[in-house]
Amino acid sequence: MLQLSDNRRRFVMPKEARIGPNTAADITVLPDGRVLITPLRMIPINEEWAVSPESHAQTEEALRDHREGRAVNGLKALDAAVAKRQRRK
C-alpha cells in the first residue's frame, strides 16, 4: 500500500494492522532506512508476575486439577500457596 505522509510526517495505519488510537509501539529505524513498528502491551510493574512463564504453568496446572476434580486440600495448603505467591512480589 503506497501512502504519502502528511505535513507532520504521519501515515494512516491500515485496519489490518490492529493499531488503534493511543496504542503504544516501539519504532525502530533499520540500517537500510525501513521503519519497523511493533505494537506493545504495557503491563504495570506490580502485575508482571501474572505474565511470567511460571505463573502460566501454575494456572495450567490449576485448570487441569479442576477439570480432573482435584481441589486444594484444606485451608493450610491454600494459605501456603497464597503466602508463596506474595513472597515473589
How many CA atoms are closer than 13 Å to the CA of 50, on its beta-carbon side? 6
Judged by average pLDDT, the poorest of 2-6, 27-31, 47-51 is 47-51
Average pLDDT for residues 16-33, to the nearest whole number?
A: 91
36-76, pLDDT tens digit by residue? 999 988 888 888 888 888 888 888 888 888 788 777 665 66
User: Which region, left, alpha or beta, applies to residue 69 given φ > 0 means left and ψ of -120 to 50 means alpha?
Assistant: left
Say what the pTM is. 0.48
What pLDDT shows up at residue 1? 82
Output the average pLDDT for the chain: 85
